[in-house]
Every structure is written in structure tokens, then in C-alpha cells.
Amino acid sequence: MTSTLRQIPGYVVGTWDIDASHSTVGFSVRHMMVSKVRGYFREFSGELVTAEDPSQSTVTATIDMDSIDTRQEQRDAHIRSADFFDVGNHTVMTFRSTTVRAHGEDWVVDGELTLKGITKPVSLELELNGFGPDAYGGTRAGFSAKTVISRSEFGVDIDMPMDGGGVVVGDKINVELEIEAVLRAS
């Protein structure tokens, strides 16, 4: 056992499936220069592998772009259109980790995010929330992660200027993940 593992109480090595019913893939973006609109994706899946050496762990995830929900159907339909996500041609967004590294008491998961056919490096600030038994005889793990991406770098580059300056939709997207995962039976 490495000294890094001793710093992670209850750490469990294994392959985990994201439990989408107990997880959230959310975001917020500046709107009209005065507030933020929040939304999330209802459909997503993923696999996490916690390795004996945590820095060798991996993450892959797929998000169904058609499942966007900002609590306003007209806006959601516009976001699905070619102006934004072009869901007719780009049905999923994917993330694949490339490295996992310690960062103080927390972690950073570096990886490649693919959105609208464009792949860019992204770093997720990761908080490991814990490992423990569930009510069904299995084992669960919890993770919180966040990052900020530029929508224009991924080809979501609609420009809607406002009279008097500013834009209707900001470029900076705050991404927030609350992930609960279930250990696969061996």
C-alpha cells in the first residue's frame, strides 16, 4: 500500500459504473450579462477504474446531448439546434481521462473532452467524497468534480451581441458533477 492510499480512508480498488439516478451532470452559463442559467443532462453513463495506485485510475463518460434540460423547452430546443450543439449531427459528448494526479488533499483528472466533434484537453478538480456499503450488499463511491470550459473552443460559437454591449450567452461554462458509482461484482 502506498502512502497516497493511506490518505484515502476506505479506498476501494475496482471498476465502477456511474449510477445516473443518483448523479448529476450540470452546468451554468452567464445570461444577458446579469445572471446565470443552470441546466443539466438527464442521460449519461460512465466507467471509473480505481487502481491500486490512484494516479493510475481512469474515467470514461458519455453524455446524451439530446437530454439537455434547462427547465425551459424552447431554450432547450434552441440549444439542441445547429446554433449550439447541433444534436442532429453530434449526439454525444465524451470524456476520457489521460492522467489522475494529487492536488493537495484533492485530485485533478486531466482528460480529453469531445463536443461537436472537437476534442480539447480539460482538467477536472476532483473531490473524493468516500467509499462505503450500500443497502443492497454492494459498494458505492462518491465524487464531486468541477471545471470551466469555453464553449467557443468547442465550436459552440454563436455570437448574440446585446444593444449597449455584452452578449446574450457567455462563453465561459461552469461544469459541475456529482457522481455516485457502484462497484461491479467481480
Residue 38, all three cell numbers: 443552470
Residue 162 has pLDDT above 70, yes or no: no
pLDDT of residue 13: 94
CATH number given to 3-183: 2.40.128.110
| pLDDT, position 164 | 61
Report residue 1's pLDDT band, with 50, 70 and 90 as the boundaries.
very low
Instruction: Find cell 427547465 and name the residue.
Output: 71
